[in-house]
Amino acid sequence: MSLIKTPGEIEILREGGKRLAKVLRMTRDYIKPGMTTREIDAYAEKLILDFGDTTPFKNYQPRGARKPFPAALCISVNDEIVHGIPGDRVIKDGDVVSIDLGLTHRGLVTDHALSVIVGDAPQRVKDLLRYTEEALWKGIDAAKIGGHIGDISAAIEEVQVKHKYGNVRELGGHGVGHGVHEDPYVPNYGRKGTGPRLQQGMVLAIEPMFILDGTEDIRQMPDGWTIVTHSGATAAHFEHTIAFTDKGVEVLTME
């Protein structure tokens, strides 16, 4: 499997990314207090199937996972960072809900995530979401053909350090397209000018995850998937899929 996608493959990913952005936006707007995370997952899955596309996260079982992921959408609430399994949990006013979704269009995968506050929350929680998203955009801005993966990593880390958030060091961005996770790995910390070269035809998912209280320890829940902050502090997560094309860097997961 080549890390480099053809212009034809990028064209398919562009359409898939557009569809995924629409589905994730509609899912974000659908979330209301009193709803279970299972209902939110069912809504997102139906939108994808209605497009005639499929859900690459459902039944995904990477190496090391004890069981396949059972749903279309990862829903992670408050101290849950990523990979939350939809179920009976009821969304409450003030919850920070992170939704992470993949979409397979004509055999090719795009990946996109965001965090949203349901109702109202303290200013420091609003800031966490704002600056985690800002870090995503700084990372994207730092991505240039001929540059290095470390340029993206350093740009993300700079925002994290400035705001004294915790960085999730065990998880990061990745190549995407033929599968859910491909090389190269894109850490959310690092040094400019280091790591693999960024080349035309690469497609990467960039995804900072920050923790409000500045701690960095994480753990996995007994369900084998959900990753939570060890301290119990709130986390935020934003992700886009980007492509390196002859026109430069393009964000694919946009409407």
List residues near Mg ion by CB under 5 A. 111, 205
Nearest residue (CB) to Mg ion, 98 versus 245: 98
CB of 34: closest distance to Mg ion in angstroms?
29
Least Å distance, CB 190 to Mg ion, is 17
Minimum distance, C-beta of residue 207 to Mg ion, in the bound complex (Å): 5
List Cα–Cα distances, 84 to 11, 78, 219, 234, in angstroms.
31, 11, 12, 14
User: In whole angstroms, what is the distance from residue 27 CA to residue 59 CA?
Assistant: 20
For residue 146, what are its two tokens?
A: 């001929």
Question: Which is nearer to Mg ion, 75 or 205 (by Cβ)?
Answer: 205
Q: Between residues 61 and 193, which has the closer beta carbon with respect to Mg ion?
A: 61
- Token pair for 246: 């002859």
Instruction: Indicate the residue among 61 and 124 with the shorter CB distance to Mg ion.
Output: 61
Asked if 90 and 31 count as a contact pair (C-beta separation under 8 A), the reply is no
Minimum distance of Mg ion from residue 192's CB (angstroms): 23
Q: Do residues 4 and 177 make contact, with C-beta atoms less than 8 angstroms apart?
A: no
8 A C-beta contact, residue 97 and residue 32: no
C-beta of 91 vs 186, nearer to Mg ion: 186
CA distance 153 to 251: 17
CB of 32 to Mg ion, least distance (A): 26
